[in-house]
Structure 1
Amino acid sequence: MGEFRRSTAVPHLEVRRSCRENTCYRPHFHDTFSIGLIDNGSSVFTGSSAGTIRLQPGDVVVIPAGQVHACNPGEGPWLYRMAHMDQEWAVSLVPRCAAHRLLSGVGVLRRDDLHDRIAAAMQVVFADQPSAHIEAEFAAALGDLAAATPEHLVPSGTDATLRTRLRPVMDRLRRDEANPQLDELAQLVGMTRYELVRAMRRATGLAPLAWRQNARIVRARHLLRSGLPIADTAQALGFTDQSHFHRVFRAHVAASPGVYRG
């Protein structure tokens, strides 16, 4: 069960409410700055190299763009909310030093007042308030998050220099309609296929083909939000059929393309 709401005043801002009982997410990343609220039930957070963190009601999870993670229910129903927003917009709302703290890694904050503060900011999106009201609410909420000390902090484990070297591989993974052969990708950057897999994991947190699937779903979300029909979105991204697209989309978003598109 899930509900998505997008601001008409701030188009890149999206919030969701969901209830889950079964494993629903594979490791993935967003191209947005994201904030999660645990409202009820327990869940288990996994990062690319962080092991597991058990989340509890009242927790706030801060996830910068590009950070690989997954969060799935523990025992029984799990109720949560998420806000996704353009990362440049988010950091523009706070002082530079605060922005650095927000982007230092995945943070888990365990304070009821912060949970309530973020919930209030999300509510202005559900209410579709004007942009000035939304910006004021999120500026205050992000400032409070940046000033707080996380209960857990998973530092960014990606390698920016290596990502630059792997850019031809990532461009090819985005562009090709079919899965490129690992040997061909490795030749682009002078590596063996085994070196490439290790390098992609170190640079992005995912193996090459898993990264490609994630990048396709990130693009799918943009296309669906723009109003493109589901069938056209699947075709534009090179999926062989809609059922395959639905399966991959659900594994990354924990919702069907139809529910997400609204």
Structure 2
Amino acid sequence: MKKESRTVIFDNELNIEAYSFKGVMQKFPNHFHKHFVIGFIEKGERKLSCLNKEYIVGSGDITIFNPYDVHTCEQINELPLEYRCLNVSEEIMEKNIINITEIKEKINFSPTVITNLYLSSLIKELHSLITKKSREFRKEEIFILILEYLVKYHSIPFENNYSVKQSENIKRVCEFLEKNFDKNISLDTLTSLTDFSKYHLLRSFTKETGITPYGYLETVRIEKAKNFLEKGVSPAETAFLTGFSDQSHFSNFFKKFIGLTPKQYQNIFINKNKSLEETNE
């Protein structure tokens, strides 16, 4: 079997992450991110589910996930996955879109799966330049070209995105989970925030968000954990701060969602800070 490889690099000039997975057979559970993910599949086939739609994706396909787009994917054959992606925060995306459109507006992208040779070649080139730690302005140029293409052909108004259409009951539950992610929460507590029964809450929440209440809590905990790790908090302390029972449970859970161990993820930002220090010397 081909050896598995997982690498992540943070680009200090563009302020984006570049992921590369090779030889991966892992199934990723139902989850969402709080950033944009622009991905490209080089090899392998996967069954992808996003926002209640299912896709079979493979070599040459581009995948776009907006913040809070709930998605999951798994292997459908014995060919391991080779995948590259760029993770772009909402802040960086908005800043660049304003430069392109000269209009301050929040937008999302659609559809989830795109096949376009021009766009895929740009994504591959940019990923390669980031991996090589290039400082040439070609890197920024390609990033702008990618976003320009997406804005021109695949942008939709933010309010039209499926993932932001929620009832007041479900919004209250989401807000509660976001604020109390480190606590032991009961289904009774969540139900008391609504005029639903437990069954109706589970059904309505899953229908509106694409994920169960507990799945939503799990994802929030992982996103919060990423923030702590980025700030240099130890994995053990991060596990405690995000409501996990122990560090082992946290580490296994983190890798299931992110594809990296907490320490591997934290090392990205240790290296980032070292690079910044070297630049300032």
TM-score by length of structure 1 reads 0.85
Q: Distance in 2 between matches of 1:232 and 1:14?
A: 24
SS at 2:29's partner residue? coil
The answer on whether the counterparts of 1:64 and 1:106 sit within 8 Å (CA) in structure 2 is no
Report what 2:145 is aligned to.
140
Report what 2:73 is aligned to.
71
Q: Which of these residues, 171, 174, 199, is aligned with residue 175 of structure 2?
A: 171
Relative distance call for 1:100 and 1:37 in structure 2 (3 A) is farther
Report what 2:113 is aligned to.
108
* AA in 2 matched with 1:212: L
* AA in 2 matched with 1:7: D
TM-superposed deviation, 1:168: 3.5
Report what 2:210 is aligned to.
205
Q: Which of these residues, 215, 218, 235, is aligned with residue 240 of structure 2?
A: 235
Q: Deviations over 1:51-74 (max 9, x none)?
A: x21112111111111101122333
Report what 1:89 is aligned to.
92
* AA in 1 matched with 2:222: I
Q: Distance in 2 between matches of 1:70 and 1:23?
A: 11
Q: Distance in 2 between matches of 1:213 and 1:54?
A: 26
Relative distance call for 1:167 and 1:243 in structure 2 (3 A) is same
Cα RMSD (Å)? 2.8
Report what 1:9 is aligned to.
13
Relative distance call for 1:134 and 1:233 in structure 2 (3 A) is farther
Q: Distance in 2 between matches of 1:172 and 1:7?
A: 34
Relative distance call for 1:41 and 1:183 in structure 2 (3 A) is same
Q: Which of these residues, 53, 56, 78, is aligned with residue 54 of structure 1?
A: 56
* AA in 1 matched with 2:35: T
Is 1:189 paired with 2:194?
yes
Instruction: Decide which moves more: 103-112 or 251-260.
Output: 103-112
Q: Distance in 2 between matches of 1:131 and 1:107?
A: 31
TM-superposed deviation, 1:121: 2.1
Q: Distance in 2 between matches of 1:36 and 1:10?
A: 17
Q: Deviations over 1:186-225 (max 9, x none)?
A: 1112322122222322332111111000011011112222
Relative distance call for 1:133 and 1:59 in structure 2 (3 A) is same
The answer on whether the counterparts of 1:9 and 1:128 sit within 8 Å (CA) in structure 2 is no
Relative distance call for 1:106 and 1:211 in structure 2 (3 A) is farther
Instruction: Decide which moves more: 106-115 or 228-237.
Output: 106-115
Relative distance call for 1:85 and 1:107 in structure 2 (3 A) is same
TM-superposed deviation, 1:29: 0.5
The answer on whether the counterparts of 1:15 and 1:126 sit within 8 Å (CA) in structure 2 is yes
Q: Distance in 1 between matches of 2:103 and 2:125?
A: 20
Relative distance call for 1:62 and 1:240 in structure 2 (3 A) is same
Q: Distance in 1 between matches of 2:73 and 2:104?
A: 24
The answer on whether the counterparts of 2:111 and 2:154 sit within 8 Å (CA) in structure 1 is no
TM-superposed deviation, 1:22: 2.4
Q: Deviations over 1:63-118 (max 9, x none)?
A: 11110112233321110011111124224323459998961444211122211111
The answer on whether the counterparts of 1:59 and 1:112 sit within 8 Å (CA) in structure 2 is no
User: Percent sequence identity over matched residues?
Assistant: 22
Report what 1:23 is aligned to.
26
Aligned length, in residue pairs: 255
Q: Unpaired segments of 5 or more residues in structure 1?
A: none
Report what 1:43 is aligned to.
46
Q: Unpaired segments of 5 or more residues in structure 2?
A: 268-281
Aligned ranges 1:217-256 → 2 under 5 Å? 217-256=222-261
Instruction: Decide which moves more: 210-219 or 200-209.
Output: 200-209
Relative distance call for 1:98 and 1:144 in structure 2 (3 A) is farther
The answer on whether the counterparts of 2:60 and 2:120 sit within 8 Å (CA) in structure 1 is yes
Relative distance call for 1:68 and 1:36 in structure 2 (3 A) is same
